[in-house]
Chain A
Amino acid sequence: MAPPAEVLAVRGLSKTFPGVRALDDVDLTVHAGEVHALIGENGAGKSTLIKLLTGVYRPDAGRISFQGREVSFETPLEAQKAGISTIYQEVNLIPLLSVARNLFLGREPRTRLGLLDFARMNREADEILRTYGVRVDVRQSLRTLGVGAQQMVALARAVATEARVVIMDEPTSSLEPREVETLFTVIRRLRDEGIAVIYVSHRLDELYAVCSKVTVLRDGRRVHHGDLADLDRIDLVSTMLGRELGEVRAEGQTKFSGEHLIADDQPVLSARELSARHKLHGVSLDIRPGEVVGLGGLLGSGRTETAKAISGSLALSSGAVTVAGVPLRGGSTPAAIRAGISLLPEDRKSEGIVPGLSVRENIALAVLPRLSRFGLVSESRVDGIVDTFMKRLRIKASSPHQKVGELSGGNQQKVLLARWLAMNPKVLLLDEPTRGIDVGAKAEVQKLVDELAADGLGVLLISSDLEELIEGSDRVVVLKDGAVVGELTGDDVTEDQLMRTIAGEAPPRGTPEEAVTHG
């Protein structure tokens, strides 16, 4: 038997965005009937690669051959017509249309009069979906289906439009375990039908369950490729994160100074059993004044959601947050801010900065009512605050009146930090505070966080940069699939232990249950 044909071959693909080399000379080979894991942390270049494959972006260099022909897609539609379909996390169908219509949009069966033949369409839709394990009334609108069933419809549509390669971007992020099983069954069937699947996920169990090959990206480069079976979990995690197991560093490269003195044993923030549908399952943690608590885990493990839940911007189905012993009521952002919780959101550009306003106005935005009398802003007090923080945080802007949207990422982040420090918060939640900012600014932000903690602030630090997380945190709470799976304290706060905990091996000291109960 001849080896399966190469259906997709990518050679030397590169893509640069202003200031970032997102993808650097990357190769990828996918054969027919292969389930290929594509993994990497945030910023590794996965999504850039997918967007290049599907015609959203055009490469700066390199070639893509598909089924033996060199291709260059102008639009996602073109890629899809050629046979490369993508199933996104957010299902890209039309929720208000019926299931059958979604499945058949653009190629509906018609009667002799040229009108749509709904009887036939519904019958065929029902038949097709049954083979995907979806048994629903295909006449009802798509949105009444669960996410898993919607994904099946998207998948069925892709296959029906003769896809040869199906790219699945975190398909299981909002699925129930039962639905995941169904998805795997379908993926295996696609594989047997000779369709190639590129599977992007951070859930290791899933990768090992369905994938045969793996390509690992890091910082825009391909750092590993081959059979998944040849790579055990801990190696996979260390390859992905770029850390050698057992590698001992004489000295850290981050500016974090390490341990802080914890003066007070009373937690300034305590979160109990936070749960949100599909996202969090009973997360509890405490932060004491002067302490930096790291939140570890892979992408999609519930780190961002935990921070958002604490800051009142993610609706909880159950759970409670107390600040300095006072329970937080209402679960609204203003209430959390009043109580002294400040969040630096992960998505700095769309949820953090107000791009069209100046540095000065962005810094003063939250604290403005405190600087005003009868609604009139005291410009001198604003200037005072802005001046203080621009100096203290060394914000580089042509003037306080420059638009924040024009600043570099690092300076934008400092502006946000200034906005919250001006509020005199008790707890600072930092979600990827140094992502996408240059090395110098990164060191400055890290040093600043250190100083703030030394001043008695409670800090929750989320970072995909292991070194930053380990060196910056006094303790690390590890999340997986929206639940706490371990906690590293004292001498256990090491990259090794963290990777082992993430990979699900040898939980440190306390079992997860104990970790939850004592903090």
Chain B
Amino acid sequence: MAEATLRTAPLDKARVLQWLQTYGVYAGVALLLVVNIVITPHFLSAENFRTQAVQVAPVIIVALGMALVIGTEGVDLSVGAVMALAASATALYLGYGLLPALLVVALFAAGVGLANGALVAFVGVQPIVATLALMVGGRGLALVLLPQLEDLRNPALASLGSGDALGFPYLILIAAGLALLVAFVVRRTTFGRQLLAIGDSRPAAELAGLPVRRVLILVYVACALLAAVAGVLATARLQASDPTSLGNLMELSAITAVVVGGTPLTGGRVNIAGTVAGAVLIQLLTATLIKHDLPPSWTQIAQAIVIVCAVYAARGRGKR
């Protein structure tokens, strides 16, 4: 790598881009932290950090699944709908206890994931369209199951949403645990390696005899299950099931987190730490704007610009 430092101006630009793609997200998080410490009153309080972390936890969990799907050169637009479905199913089956309710939620999510995966792997539909169908159908099903917001009173669920262990909210612990688990799966399992190989070069993966279809289906199921976890946690935090608005635009936040975090849309690479940092970056950005009394509409516009910039910066990465 010594020769790299000797290169001339145009290549320096490429190197800066490369650096930005890998570390830009951490620099962005650091920058926002510093800016907020300077300009935002009461930013450096434990209470504030706790609030931010609890808010970002569901996004991180959804983004983890999205990162896996994007690693296979796919995309899953149905994650928000799966969150809503999870909320509805939780409300409906909570009467039988939290655990049975969670089981039913998992079944619903696995069903959506299977449908997505089958459409992509067996029928050969483009991932965007396959998951778009489930995005609408899933949201509809959530609303059919539970037409409007319903307050939930279940102590177990309530403690899941707002309880602590060792001073950390469960939400954060679960998100952290899942992030470690997904990172482990990507790095240390057959499935993880096969996933990356398929995303990097599908013809080579097929000629090497990998179970391409099975891996793709599993990836979409995993993504749906993670979205369902996020849906249950968000519901637990709200103490209410809100299938109408829960998870709206979540697919966009998750894709942004993944892309900003340095995972290319062209597949073959999954950056879990970057994805978590990407979600944190967007959360901080939103929080900064809100704390300075800028309306939510501005955060949406800001997020749109961040996405385009991140995708633009990652543009060259796919062509190795």
Write the residues of chain A forming the contact surface with B, with a CB cutoff of 8 angstroms: 311, 313, 333-334, 336-338, 343, 345, 350-357, 361, 364-366, 368-369, 372, 375-377, 379, 403, 405, 419
Contact yes or no, B209 A350, CB < 8 A: no
Q: Is A351 a contact partner of B203 (Cβ separation < 8 A)?
A: yes
Which residues between 255 and 309 of chain B lie within 8 Å of chain A, taking CB atoms?
A: 268-269
Tell me, yes or no, whether B204 is within 8 Å of chain A by CB.
yes
B79 sits at the interface (CB 8 A): no
A379-B320 contact, Cβ under 8 Å, with A351-B207, A357-B197, A365-B197: no
Given A334-B211, A337-B209, A356-B268: A361 touches B204 (CB 8 Å cut-off): no
Complex Cα–Cα for A352 and B203 (A):
8
20 A-B pairs with C-beta separation under 8 A: A333-B206, A334-B211, A350-B204, A352-B204, A354-B196, A354-B197, A354-B200, A354-B205, A356-B201, A356-B269, A356-B320, A357-B268, A361-B196, A365-B194, A366-B209, A376-B188, A376-B190, A377-B188, A379-B188, A419-B208
Give the CA-CA distance A365 to B205 in the complex, in Å: 8
Tell me, in angstroms, the Cα distance from A359 to B120 when the chains sit together: 29
A355 engages B200 (CB within 8 Å): yes
Determine which of B189, B200, B208, B268 lies in contact with A366 in the assembled complex, contact meaning CB atoms within 8 Å.
Answer: B208
Name A357's contact: one of B196, B207, B209 (CB within 8 Å): B196
Residues of B close to A377: CB separation below 8 A: 188-190, 193
Give every chain A residue within 8 A of B320 (Cβ-Cβ): 355-356, 403, 405
CA distance A88 to B149 in the complex (A): 62
**Chain A CB within 8 A of B92 CB:** no
Q: Report A-chain residues with C-beta under 8 Å of the C-beta of B191.
A: 375
A345 x B207 contact (CB < 8 A): yes
In the complex, chain A residues whose CB is within 8 Å of the CB of B211 = 334
Residues on A with C-beta less than 8 A from B193 are 357, 361, 364-365, 368, 377
Other A-B pairs, 11, CB within 8 Å; known A354-B201, A365-B205, A376-B189: A311-B207, A351-B207, A354-B196, A354-B268, A356-B268, A357-B197, A357-B268, A364-B193, A365-B193, A366-B210, A379-B188
Query: Which residues on A sit within 8 Å (CB–CB) of B205?
Result: 354, 365
Residues of B contacting A379 in the complex (Cβ-Cβ under 8 angstroms) = 188
* Given A361-B197, A405-B320, A350 and B188 contact (CB-CB distance below 8 Å): no
In the assembled complex, which residues on chain A have CB atoms less than 8 Å from the CB atom of B201?
A: 350, 353-356
Given the contacts A376-B188, A377-B189, A379-B188, A368 and B200 also touching, CB distance less than 8 Å: no
Partner of A313, one of B194, B197, B207, B210: B207
Q: How far is the CB of A415 from chain B (nearest CB, A)?
A: 12
State in angstroms the CA–CA spacing of A496 and B189 once bound together. 53
Number of interface residues of B (CB under 8 A): 22
- Residues of chain B contacted by A364 (CB below 8 angstroms): 193
Complex interface: chain B residues within 8 A of A352 (CB): 204, 207
Q: What is the CB-to-nearest-CB distance from A315 to chain B, in angstroms, rounded to a whole number?
A: 13
Given contacts A365-B193, A365-B210, A377-B193, contact A357 B200 (CB under 8 A): yes
Q: CB-nearest residue of chain A relative to B201?
A: A354
- Distance in Å from the Cβ of B121 to the closest Cβ of chain A? 15
- Find chain B residues with CB under 8 A from A353 CB: 201, 204
Q: How far is the CA of A105 from the CA of B188 in the complex (A)?
A: 53
A368 lies within 8 A of B203 (CB): no
Would you list the 7 A-B pairs with minimal beta carbon distance, nearest first? A337-B209, A356-B268, A356-B200, A334-B209, A372-B190, A354-B200, A354-B197
Q: How far is the CB of B70 from chain A (nearest CB, A)?
A: 14
CB distance from B196 to the nearest CB of A (A): 6
Chain B residue nearest in CB terms to A335? B209
Bound state CA distance, A405 and B210, in angstroms? 20
The A-contacting residues of B in range 200-234, CB under 8 angstroms, are 200-201, 203-211
Asked if B196 and A368 sit within 8 Å, CB to CB, the answer is no
Q: How far is the CA of A177 from the CA of B193 in the complex (A)?
A: 47
* B193, B196, B209, B268, most chain A CB atoms within 10 A: B209
Closest to A369 in B: B190
CB-defined contacts of A375 to chain B, threshold 8 Å: 189-191
Contacts of A372 in B (CB 8 A): 189-190
Q: How far is the CA of A334 from the CA of B207 in the complex (A)?
A: 8
Bound CA span A313–B206, Å: 9
Instruction: Tell me the bound Cα distance from A94 to B191 in angstroms.
Output: 39
Residue of B nearest to A312 (CB): B209
- Chain B residues contacting A345 (CB-CB under 8 Å) are 207
Nearest-CB residue, chain B, relative to A347 = B203
Report Cα–Cα, A365/B200, bound state, in Å.
13
CA distance in complex: A181, B211 (Å): 45
Q: Which residues of A contact B188 (CB under 8 A)?
A: 376-377, 379
Q: How far is the CA of A365 from the CA of B193 in the complex (A)?
A: 8
Q: Smallest CB–CB gap between A360 and chain B, Å?
A: 10
Q: Which residue of A lies closest to B189 (CB)?
A: A375
What residue in chain B is nearest A338 (Cβ atoms)?
B209
Interface centre among B188, B208, B269, B320 (most CB of A within 10 A): B208
Rounded to whole Å, the gap between the CB of A414 and the closest CB of chain B is 16
Q: Give, as a whole number of angstroms, the nearest-CB distance from B314 to chain A.
A: 14
Bound CA span A403–B206, Å: 20
Interfacial chain A residues near B203, Cβ < 8 Å: 350-351
- Chain B neighbourhood of A351, CB < 8 A: 203-204, 207
- Give the complex CA separation of A365 and B191 in angstroms: 11
Q: Which residues of B contact A313 (CB under 8 A)?
A: 206-207
CA distance A361 to B205 in the complex (A): 12
Bound together, the chains give a CA A422 to CA B191 distance in angstroms of 19
Across-interface contacts of B194 in A (CB, < 8 A): 365, 368
Q: Are B269 and A365 interface neighbours, CB within 8 A?
A: no
A366: B residues at CB distance < 8 A: 208-210
Q: How far is the CA of A311 from the CA of B206 in the complex (A)?
A: 12
Could you tell me the distance in whole angstroms from the C-beta of A352 to the nearest C-beta in chain B? 6
Shortest Cβ gap from A11 to chain B (Å): 32
A35: shortest Cβ distance to chain B, in Å? 37
Interchain nearest-CB distance for B277 vs A (Å): 21
- Chain B's closest residue to A368 (CB) is B190
B59 to chain A, nearest CB (A): 27
| Cα of A351 to Cα of B206 in the assembled complex, Å | 9
List, in ascending order, chain B residues with CB within 8 A of A350's CB.
201, 203-204
- A364's nearest neighbour on chain B, judged by CB, is B193
Distance between Cα atoms of A389 and B106 in the complex (Å): 43
Q: Which chain A residues border B206 with CB–CB below 8 Å?
A: 313, 333
Task: Name A354's contact: one of B189, B190, B204 (CB within 8 Å).
Answer: B204
Q: For residue B197, which residues in chain A have a CB less than 8 angstroms away from its CB?
A: 354, 357, 361, 365
Q: Give Cα A376–Cα B187 distance, bound, in whole angstroms.
A: 10
